[in-house]
Each structure stands twice: as structure tokens, then as C-alpha cells.
Amino acid sequence: MNSAIGYRQLAVTDSQLQLAFPVQVLYPTSEISQVVPVGLYRLNVAVDAALAPGRFPLVLVSHGTGSSGLVHRQLAQALVKKGFVVGLVEHPHNNRDDDSWAHTAQNLAARPRHLQLALDGLLTDARLRGGLYPEVAALLGHSLGGYSVLAAAGGRPEAVGPDITERLAIPVPGADERVKALVLLAPAVPWYAVPGSLAAVHVPLLVLAAEKDEYLSPDHMELVTKGVPATTPLTARVVANAGHFSFLTPFPPHRTSAAFLPSQDPPGFDRAQFQQELAQEVAGFLAQHLPPPLGHVEW
């Protein structure tokens, strides 16, 4: 079998906010791939190909603020090769093309709900649902994506009110029972500082922080590791010498410069090598907590 990676883009509708947002889906297929432009990048994929026969677990990715799901394309492709279907959400009004909701309460409320709407869309899509485990998914989030996936799994975030001392609950939809595991990469989670805000997060977690994160202190990871119940399965570690953006796919040479901070790492850090290690770690964690891929996928 000549296995490859399929690619489709779905549109998810939010009728409450009267908007739609894209989810780019990478998945196992037996059709022949070719290098094609996808956003700002070029991917070796089979566009609109049929999903390979079998049944595969779903992983949904939440990008950081003002970013794009495609910055995790290498990890996504590696997970597909392990037998996962991966959805890359583009959060509306908080992405690289439109960041008008950055630093707003509306964004904090919308992000987790949009993850749940994306799960609805993928798990019921006519061309995917037959090959996905129903009512089963993992969520992966980088930076503000870490906040988002925790809220979708039962976290109850709060923001500081105008008078600084007041805490305001952020309206999020509550735990989605379809979520069976979480992966947090350099998570931005100050909204969970209030004791008990993560008490309802019971699914297994993998939390990776960056030793030399330029934006987040180690306290962010500790808010998670100390905030979830003691019975919650938890794996957490600090990645030596990594920076905040070291979890992203290396950028093409023409987009790599000191002026473009997401392309930069602390001196001596090998992002390309780390991406391979990251894919192995994430895939191994997910394999422990999601149903196994059932299908003939050869790589």
C-alpha cells in the first residue's frame, strides 16, 4: 500500500456569533500525494483524498494567539503517520491574518467553544465520521491554546476585573465528555490561578514547558500540575534550553530571521531535532490514552 497524508479543509459555523472558521484536516490515506501550497507553506499531501480504510483517533490542535494551526504542521504530519487524524483549528479573529480579538474577554470565551464546535464538525463530517472513533478526541494546545484546551476539558477560568481585586468568571462551555486526553505545550494559563479552577479536569495530561521561555515563567506549568486533582494522570517536564516558540515547526529559510521571533530559539537549541523527539513523545502519550488506530497504514 502506498500510504500518504490526505488533506482537506472544513468550514465550521458558529451560528451564535454568525461566523465561520476553517479547520485543516490531515489524515491517513492510500492515495498518492504531491507537493502543493497550503497557506504559506508547501505540504506533500493528497488533497481531498479518501480517508484510509479503518478507524483512527482524532487529535484537535489549538494554536497560540495570533498564530496558525499550520505552525504545527510537522507534528501533525508525524501524528498522521502514527495513525491519527489531526485537525488544525484557525481561531477566528485571533490568527495571523486577523488578530482583532487578541487580549479580549470575547476571545477567551470563544476559543474553547470553537474547539467544541470543531469537534462537532469533524466527528459528524460525512467523509470522515466512518473512519473516526465516535465521541473520542484528544486536544493539543500551544501557549494560549493551552488555556483553550483546558477550558474545553472542564477548566473554569477567571479574569481580573477593572478594579484589579475583582475576579470575573469567563463564560466557557464546560467539560466536553468526548475529550479523553490533553497535551499542553508552553501553556499560557494565568486564568487558572484561583484554587479549584482546574478541579474538574480529570483526563490525562502531558504538559511540556520551555526552560528559557521568553514569555512564561515556570509558574504557569505549576498552575496546571498543582491545580488538577491528584487523581488526574499527569506527565510534566521542562524541556531543557527550549524557548516559547521551540514547539513550532521550523520556518522556511525566507521566514527565519532575528526580526521574526517565532522562528528563533535560544542559542544551541536544535528545533528540527526536537520536533522529532516531540512527535515521539506526544504520539506515545496519546497511544496510552486513546483507542488504537485500526487500519493498514504503512510508513
Domain count, the chain: 1
- Asked whether residue 41 is assigned to any structural domain, the reply reads no
Query: What is the C-alpha separation between 78 and 72, in angstroms, rounded?
Result: 10
Contacts of 226 (CB under 8 A, 6+ apart): none
Query: What is the C-alpha separation between 84 and 28, in angstroms, rounded?
Result: 7
Judged against a pLDDT cut of 60, whether residue 118 lies above it is answered with: yes
Judged against a pLDDT cut of 90, whether residue 168 lies above it is answered with: no
pTM for this prediction: 0.95
- Asked whether residue 182 is assigned to any structural domain, the reply reads yes
- Asked whether residue 108 is assigned to any structural domain, the reply reads yes
Across the chain, mean pLDDT equals 94
Output the CA torsion 10→13→14→16 (10° steps). 180
- The pLDDT confidence band at residue 135, using thresholds 50, 70 and 90, is very high
CB-neighbour burial class of residue 29 (10 A; exposed 0-12, middle 13-18, buried 19+):
buried
Query: What is the C-alpha separation between 185 and 124, in angstroms, rounded?
Result: 28
- Asked whether residue 75 is assigned to any structural domain, the reply reads yes
* Domain ranges, residue 249: 9-25+49-289
Q: How many CA atoms lie within 13 A of 208 on its CB side?
A: 23
- Asked whether residue 104 is assigned to any structural domain, the reply reads yes
Output the domain CATH number for residue 21.
Answer: 3.40.50.1820
- Asked whether residue 39 is assigned to any structural domain, the reply reads no
- Asked whether residue 32 is assigned to any structural domain, the reply reads no
Q: What is the pLDDT of residue 89?
A: 98
Judged against a pLDDT cut of 60, whether residue 163 lies above it is answered with: no
- Asked whether residue 40 is assigned to any structural domain, the reply reads no
Judged against a pLDDT cut of 90, whether residue 281 lies above it is answered with: yes
